[in-house]
Structure 1
């Protein structure tokens, strides 16, 4: 076979050499040990948790080592691409705060190693496909869909491995004259890789998560270029990762089955293999068993779900880190206020088996994250979320920003901050009693021991309340009120002689809390009352009396 003649027949318009292409992609000038990683999503219109999970690994590996993290759009499968898909990718990663150093942007490409869309790199792939043909590692295949289906059926009947290989590689050794005749006749063809492998051989490889692997060598003549000249993922990512000098490829463990193909391509092309990081799949409990998160069954797989539910981005990122590194929670306990970027991420601490996604655990993490945020940040986030998701509450929430921020400040900070909120969507129920439009009191929480005296307590308190009182004076009045109605003015007195009192001073505080807040659970009562006009407080006390 005259491979040079075949290469010219298949690629008559390719005049650039591999060496000339390589010259356009010089080695990166980076510090020793710096890692180059990439995120390579497809614009299918659906961004899922797995995308973010892997991207977080990419970002940490690159930026923790002083390296480069870039975004490449892998849009070679036009059948799956949707309009606006690229924009969705950019918006999603921007919303989650992932800082790309290079890659696709709204205004074109940023960086010297583009184009960063695979659909714009066809000429580059053809240069290296031509080289493989010249070296006898690629050839045209004219199989029709019907022939491939027939081959598959025969393999199934014979209980043989599926695929295009060995005796089933119909056009592997096709004569040049026949190839010329078929092309002249206008027959459609793909360009296949001529695999030098055998399933009798094993490939040894060390994955940075899975450890030492022994895999069956690839013997499949996979498609490199489809009939329209567009490359498959297998070929495109190998070429791109080499030219862009990607050092670490992070992807889900479902890609392990094709790893021998990719390693073989790197070897045949004479290129250094990148290190591979195959992340464990995200699982969830379904009854008593685990299963993979599903696009069809699990709304939480979609990244849009987290914004709709009002789960803060820092909470999602922090929770994902608990799944990614087994020592993260221990580090967080020792570094409660440190930014996430300070955590020393390591692939050695990543789970080998499936990571269990637990929404309840995410909510617990989120409560901690929100408790560490400033009232200003909480206000800004809830204002933005409510504007998009609950416009009626939004109007009330932003009506008096100063009051709202002061309310959100209650119990915030210190060693034991309040942890009332896990989602921005919970803010409405948390502070609805601050707005007359939302106030729906439930007086059933009045302490049993104080019910008989509640009306008298509330009536008398209307006369003694003074908004100018400092906290100690305010509480002294509550204690005096308690004593006048037969309740212990100090909790310790009640504990010492419970038979002498109707109940502790806390019962009186609870009567006031239920009357003013309409519930038993609310932030510090004195602080809440400081944010309410005196008329509102007295009106609520009177309304509670009326209801009782």
Structure 2
């Protein structure tokens, strides 16, 4: 088509579009940011499903932006209404708020926050149409009147010929349609999509440096992809290129599954005359399935959904800490050297990101979570468990919140010092951890040391109440247990017992175990000195008496 025909076609297809690309540029001036500041974005679709991959990329986005004094913004890519669900935007905003990833600007529940909106793509149709008209004027876009049936037939023929699938070369049947033919098709009421006139021929190649994958060499795009669908709504390919340009995105972070579309996006950036952002293609999240690795699956793996971690009760910091170990290979070493530093103090870099699949391990996440929880102050643990249990365990919530000071004292056990206890990995484990502190949950136990006679067990249980004094410090408390054991024929030290087992009924550890089982109902519990002090003498004494009664009633 001639230049004159291209101009006529642009007016024919977009008679109501009067704005120019230059006018759009003026509406979105360069950002006033320090040199080296990065502008990144999170741009999910409002499908109602937020997954681990979203968070994986968002942490990268947020760190790159905020470490450099830049901007991290939220854009909603809602051009595909078939995938959108009611409340999808609210879900996106809620999830990222819960995970402590603050957006500097972008879509909000109420509307927009920032000078580069609208931040919802369906509200930006006039912008896309302005650039679409310009591409038509320059002969770089054209209407395609193929029906679904014709495209399906084309695909069958390509399959039969073992040709690459797509709309390109000889298969791009409307690429050279004349202006008169287009006018006739429009007059006949035929629907059309607007396609991009690709610059590649299937032979040319280009090079591009990805900040994770390194130097890439790929074929120049030869696919005449759809820019505007028949309803005038843009495709992802077209919309995101324009948005990233006008919003001055400097770094595009996305999963490596998008690498196949990179030639299309590079071609579009060049055709539109835009400066390209830097690309950061993150490794896919994998898991072991038997002896082999596979990509985490929405259908097979509940742990892919972010709501899974919320329901299980993983603290946000635990999930973020673990993902950081997958994102930067030197994070674990840094954390060991800086156990109490804030995650934000770590210098995140794309140079340390994995170039291949990142193996997601739930057991490793559990270990990381135990470490992070062990370092939290007792008051914060209480607040987080109370908040979690309000939604997911009302019974636990009622018990904890009726006496916050009592509950906080429980969480204080073993906290602080060089080697804090690591009993809890997720909030859903809390009830089992502290059930014996509440009479409503306490279950009596009977797993006393098997080598002890019933008479010896009763002697310990009957004589200890007279010795227990809540004002004793831990040394005095343990000395009384030791002296009781010695008076009943037990060794004062385990080593002493092992050297001459026939001389003793057992050792002081056996005496402590008898008390532990009677008071807590279990053989493993937090430090018994703290347990008894929190329970109080009255309840400790009552449980010992109840244990005596159960033994005698056998």
Q: TM-score category by the smaller chain?
A: over 0.9
CA contact (8 A) 2:447 2:523 kept: no
- Please state if 1:539 is matched with 2:549: no
- Find the aligned partners of 1:180 and 1:191 in 2 and give their Cα distance: 15
CA contact (8 A) 2:144 2:195 kept: yes
Partner of 2:467: 464
Aligned counterpart in structure 1 of residue 282 of structure 2, from 272, 279, 283:
279
Q: CA deviation at 1:393?
A: 1.7
Secondary structure of the residue that 2:484 maps to in structure 1?
A: helix
- Find the aligned partners of 1:349 and 1:196 in 2 and give their Cα distance: 35
Partner of 1:343: 346
- Please state if 1:291 is matched with 2:298: no
- Find the aligned partners of 1:348 and 1:467 in 2 and give their Cα distance: 57
Q: How does 1:160-175 map to 2 (within 5 A)?
A: 160-175=163-178
Partner of 1:228: 231
- Find the aligned partners of 1:443 and 1:521 in 2 and give their Cα distance: 13
Aligned counterpart in structure 2 of residue 364 of structure 1, from 367, 376, 384:
367
Q: How does 1:285-324 map to 2 (within 5 A)?
A: 285-324=288-327
- Find the aligned partners of 1:535 and 1:429 in 2 and give their Cα distance: 23
- Please state if 1:158 is matched with 2:161: yes
CA contact (8 A) 2:34 2:69 kept: yes
Partner of 2:129: 126
- Find the aligned partners of 1:451 and 1:284 in 2 and give their Cα distance: 51
Aligned counterpart in structure 2 of residue 44 of structure 1, from 44, 47, 53:
47
Q: CA deviation at 1:77?
A: 0.3
Q: How does 1:232-271 map to 2 (within 5 A)?
A: 232-271=235-274
Q: CA deviation at 1:447?
A: 5.3
Show structure 1 runs of 4+ deviating over 3 A: 449-452, 490-500
TM-score (norm 1): 0.98
CA contact (8 A) 2:212 2:355 kept: yes
Secondary structure of the residue that 1:466 maps to in structure 2?
A: coil
- Find the aligned partners of 2:498 and 2:322 in 1 and give their Cα distance: 42
Secondary structure of the residue that 1:444 maps to in structure 2?
A: coil
Q: CA deviation at 1:495?
A: 5.1
Partner of 1:94: 97
Partner of 1:410: 413
Secondary structure of the residue that 2:245 maps to in structure 1?
A: helix
- Find the aligned partners of 2:94 and 2:413 in 1 and give their Cα distance: 34
**533-542 vs 65-74, greater mean Cα deviation:** 533-542
Q: CA deviation at 1:470?
A: 2.7
Q: CA deviation at 1:472?
A: 2.4
Residues 317 and 345 (structure 1), Cα distance of their counterparts in 2 relative to 1, 3 Å cut: same
Superposed CA offset, 1:412-454 (max 9, x none): 0111000000000100000000111111122214352465511
Residues 383 and 450 (structure 1), Cα distance of their counterparts in 2 relative to 1, 3 Å cut: farther
Superposed CA offset, 1:283-302 (max 9, x none): 11111111111111111111
Q: CA deviation at 1:496?
A: 5.3
Secondary structure of the residue that 2:417 maps to in structure 1?
A: coil
- Find the aligned partners of 2:232 and 2:366 in 1 and give their Cα distance: 48
- Please state if 1:208 is matched with 2:211: yes
Partner of 1:18: 21
Q: How does 1:324-473 map to 2 (within 5 A)?
A: 324-446=327-449, 448-449=451-452, 452-473=455-476
CA contact (8 A) 1:450 1:511 kept: no
CA contact (8 A) 1:141 1:171 kept: yes
CA contact (8 A) 2:199 2:220 kept: no
Partner of 1:506: 509
- Find the aligned partners of 1:184 and 1:257 in 2 and give their Cα distance: 38
- Find the aligned partners of 1:452 and 1:263 in 2 and give their Cα distance: 84
TM-score (norm 2): 0.97
Q: CA deviation at 1:492?
A: 4.9
- Please state if 1:103 is matched with 2:106: yes
CA contact (8 A) 2:445 2:521 kept: yes
- Find the aligned partners of 2:20 and 2:314 in 1 and give their Cα distance: 51
Secondary structure of the residue that 2:83 maps to in structure 1?
A: coil
- Find the aligned partners of 2:409 and 2:380 in 1 and give their Cα distance: 12
CA contact (8 A) 2:227 2:235 kept: yes
- Please state if 1:140 is matched with 2:143: yes
Note the residue ranges of structure 2 that are not aligned, 5 or more in a row. Answer: none
Residues 341 and 450 (structure 1), Cα distance of their counterparts in 2 relative to 1, 3 Å cut: farther
Q: How does 1:467-506 map to 2 (within 5 A)?
A: 467-494=470-497, 497-506=500-509
Aligned counterpart in structure 1 of residue 529 of structure 2, from 526, 531, 536:
526
Residues 377 and 450 (structure 1), Cα distance of their counterparts in 2 relative to 1, 3 Å cut: farther
Partner of 1:33: 36
- Find the aligned partners of 1:535 and 1:418 in 2 and give their Cα distance: 27
Residues 18 and 94 (structure 1), Cα distance of their counterparts in 2 relative to 1, 3 Å cut: same
CA contact (8 A) 2:169 2:201 kept: no
Q: How many residues align?
A: 548
Note the residue ranges of structure 1 that are not aligned, 5 or more in a row. Answer: none
